[in-house]
Amino acid sequence: MRTKVAIIGAGPAGLLLGQLLHTYGVDNVVLERQTPEYVLGRIRAGLLEEGTVALLDEAGAGSRAHHEGLVHHGVELAFGGARHRIDMHAATGKTMMIYGQTEVTLDLMNARKAAGLTTIYEAADVKPHDFDTDLPRVTYVKDGITHEIACDFIAGCDGYHGVSRASVSASAIQTFERVYPFGWLGILSETPPVSHELIYNNHARGFALCTMRSTHRSRYYVQCPLDDHIDQWPDDRFWDELKRRLDQKAVDELVTGPSIEKSIAPLRSFVAEPMRFGRMFLAGDASHIVPPTGAKGLNLAASDVHYLSHAFREYYDEKSSAGIDAYSSTALTRVWKAVRFSWWMTSMLHKFPDQGEFGARIQLAELDYLVSSKAASTSLSENYVGLPL
Ligand code: APR
Ligand code: PHB
């Protein structure tokens, strides 16, 4: 088989890239090691920047988001027993959309299927080869048979644990990492959200977040020790702990119910540089990970894909390599700003084991400054709604 761009990974990054390239007339094949059902079964965040929604529209996969997504104009920060609203739309003119990553992935899968494009699921032992030459190729095993795809370029959209970054020699890559000393215990419940917008809570017992998937499906998180196990958190214990971290109004209005999903996720900041290795390019989680506090993971994958898809279009339409040559530095400039913001939000809102009373007071002072300064809340808003592409 031959294609112009071989995409490894059928998560949001790989599928969005495949759709945009198709729109631009650039032939591509997507290779995914899991089944579609497995990919869709992953519970992930669900807040889209306007730029991400615009890319879904450009990819022909945005209509359901516009019908079912919830448009938000702000968030609330809760600390010291009170909630403070940040009107992000007033500060930036932009909105955010609540629309689950699972739905984004499903819409992209359906768009790809409707376009009759090739996606090879359950592709085992996918390997990129010769990406430091002009003849890169990808091999994979399907039904016990080894197949080869000759291509012009390889897009490594295979996430943090993927094969693409792992195929690069250690001397050619530099990584930067910060592992946080806590995790997020998340619950999904068929209950109405406690508020129509998100509430980020700084509390002496630890961070809590009130978010949602729709007007009848809520998503809540509490910070928990890294060595906690999900079996230690029956629903009753989760709801009790959440209430202890919320303001009284939220406690009074919280509707609890049985969990339909419950999981604990570790938090890390991670960046691999560069994002280009000859004719192989990394995009999304394959290159960077952010703590979910700033809701940047999916949106960063989308911005990488924005830059990479435009670079490939320029290469084929204008016979110019300027875009692909600039991709890594352009993408990393935006990645690092989002990594900083996600680190900053995480540092401000979570209880760190070594912060002490001084650290706790500094957090409260920063939050108080944020909600009382137009300049500070505008800065928060600019980063949260998404910096310009
Ligand atoms: N071969 C083929 N496919 C692979 C391989 C491999 N060796 N390794 C991983 N994959 C697939 C995974 O099964 C997954 O479907 O690559 C896909 C990567 O998707 P994501 O991990 O979702 O990463 P990305 O598309 O960059 O999306 C980033 O997902 O993890 C969240 O928080 C993250 O919201 C962000 C978004
Ligand atoms: C979510 O809806 O899962 C979500 C929203 C915002 C965040 C993190 C997670 O910052």
Q: Which ligand is nearest to the CA of 160?
A: 1
Residue 271 pLDDT > 90, yes or no?
yes
In angstroms, what is the span from residue 36 Cα to ligand 2's centroid?
23
The Cα–Cα gap between 44 and 52 comes to 16
Please say if the pLDDT value at position 181 is more than 90. Answer: yes
φ, ψ of residue 236 in degrees (nearest 5): -60, -40
pLDDT, mean over the chain:
97
Distance from the alpha carbon of residue 50 to the mean position of ligand 1, in angstroms: 22
Which pLDDT belongs to residue 42? 87
pLDDT greater than 90 at residue 44: no
Is residue 197 within 8 A of residue 75, CB to CB? The reply is yes
pLDDT of residue 9: 98
**From 99, 140, 200, 221, the catalytic residue:** 200
pLDDT digits (tens, 9 = 90+) for 219-259: 999 999 999 999 999 999 999 999 999 999 999 999 999 99
Domains of the chain (ranges; CATH) run 2-72+95-178+268-348 (3.50.50.60), 180-266+352-385 (3.30.9.10)
Quick: pLDDT tens for 275-323: 999 999 999 999 999 999 999 999 999 999 999 999 999 999 999 999 9
Catalytic (active site) residue 22: no
Contact 140, 119 (CB under 8 A): no
- Among residues 203, 292, 306, 350, the one annotated as catalytic is 292
pTM comes to 0.97
Indicate which residue's Cα is closest to atom 29 of ligand 1: 298
Cα→Cα distances 279→21, 30, 137, 184, 351, Å: 16, 16, 10, 37, 43
Catalytic-residue membership of 327: no
What is the pLDDT, as a whole number, of residue 356?
Answer: 96
Instruction: For residue 11, report the distance from its CA to the centre of ligand 1, in Å.
Output: 5
Span from the CA of 298 to the centroid of ligand 2 (angstroms): 11
Residue 261 Cα to ligand 2 middle (Å):
15
Confirm or reject: Cβ of 295 under 6 Å from ligand 2.
yes
**Active site annotation includes 374:** no
Q: Please report, in angstroms and rounded to a whole number, the separation of the first and last CA atoms in the chain.
A: 34
pLDDT tens, position by position, 102-149: 999 999 999 999 999 999 999 999 999 999 999 999 999 999 999 999
User: Pocket residues for ligand 1 (CB within 6 Å)?
Assistant: 8-14, 31-34, 39, 44-45, 101, 123, 126, 157-159, 162-163, 284-285, 297-298, 301
Contacts of 33 (CB under 8 A, 6+ apart): 122, 123, 124, 126
Non-local CB neighbours of 353 within 8 Å, separated by 6+ positions: 181
Active site residue 292: yes
